[in-house]
A and B are shown apart, each in its own frame.
Chain A
Amino acid sequence: MKMSSTITYVRNYLARFLLIVGLLAALASWYFVSPQVDAVANTMNLWNMNIYNFTLFVGLITIVIRYSDGIRKRVKNWPYMAYGLVLIVGWIIMGEYLGLYSDFYQSAYLSTKITLHIAILGQLVFFLVSASYRVVRIRTLRTAVFGLSMMAMVVLNAPWLLGVFPAADKISYWLLNNPSMAGGRALLLTGGIGGVILGIRLLLGLERGALKSTER
């Protein structure tokens, strides 16, 4: 269904107007000493939080609709969708009825989600080591610098080297706090500038995305 030009106009410019108001309120409260501006910014933050909380439900509703649809149509892996729905409903009821800080809820959360999270974090080393085998290969000057600096950090922090060469940790500390940090700061600086310019593009309506209609 093609949008009318009025709706398209409102959609483009209303969003930008709200963006500008929100931006000015946030920036003004950050930079200026003004209780009135602080009050406006706090109110806008409250609206923002309410909208954000609303979008939390969007995810939940989307999942419930999709899983229900998938179960009804008996798609591939539909038993896992049913299991997922049962878990979602079960956890919500448990949290509401027992309370988030009840011992049962906390134990259940700790022994499921957090344990799985820790397990996945522990698995990362497998991926990193297999990636190192594949990636750290000295083909060109650039790959040599990349690979050797990576191995230098591993070796300089290795306990077996620190035992025989105690200055190794001072060298690794220097490498971390000088060239590595300089590079990291450069990335953050340029990224920050790029982010602000992206914001200006959004305000000017140049950025293709949810704020600009791409329908022709």
Chain B
Amino acid sequence: MKVHVEEVAFTYGKEPVLSGVSLELPGGGITVLIGPSGSGKSTLLQLLAGLLHPAAGRILFDGEEVTGVPTERRDVGVVFQSYALFPHLTVRENIAFGLKTGRQRFSARSSRRRPSRHSLEARVWDAAALLGLERLLDRKPSQLSGGEQQRVALARAVAPRPALLLLDEPLSALDARLRRTVRAELASLLRQLGTTVFYVTHDQEEAMLLADHLVVLHEGRVMQAGSPLDLYRRPASPFVASFLGEANLVAVEVEEGGEGKPVRTPLGKVALPGGSARGWLLVRPEDVTEDPLGAVATVVDSRGLGPHERVVLALENGAELLAHFPPDSALAPGSKVRVGIRGRRPHFLAEG
């Protein structure tokens, strides 16, 4: 199912939470909405779910307007941050909950009436098997670990086979180590489902791993949308650049009459796109390389993180530069290195 959000606005009291938000969720793909806390991402998810209704704008499911349709009549499944499992029901009953409701689906392709008893059991079993919960079906939620609860929440949401699956920071309640394993499993599971997925997170790694389509939200506005790697490599603003990973933003200015000529920067000469006057070069730490012909820099700090050596450098103009060097290339603080930019074609962000 394709989802369109058109110029949606939402206010909480007098505070604007979302303003003029437009986006498109490609059918069958995973759209990840990323933003810092307070950016309005959970609100947007609740608008798609129909748990909240926008002050202005429209929401379309496959071209049909659903803006005023309540949750129970939308063809959606929701996984909440806190899971919200029914504590008085077993895992089996939790998963079956959505298969027994008198849901009058809005979606045109609602061939799914209430399933018969036999198929109900089969569908509970299918959902449980998909998430490896077969042996936990008779447990109560309080008897499950955090990771298991998360899987039950997902099984419960997908059992009715919703056309749109909404996940609100589903991994944030897990500890860091578990989150990493579950993240990878979740990515393959969501692709396997083939449902249109809308996934909200503030975790950049999670976003990069899961997203087919990435949307960055900041202060209630969409900053940029596109493929995750594209946003990482070619962000449109310093905010997006530094929100999606670590970034060195090197300020550059084109002298008058110097348009089109390579510009001198603290990291050597760089050719800029014509017409631009002032802005920043985006240099990701992994793009900084040791270069015998490069600029001289002083090592401020060098720390081995395992996968790479995290090095803080000071350039001759005093600007700090963060670099990721290959592992085991520890540098003594105070020593000098010559550095350049890998490929010598950094992304340029025009100011304004």
A and B bind: no
Give me the interface of A with B, judged by CB distance under 8 Å.
none
Give me the interface of B with A, judged by CB distance under 8 Å.
none
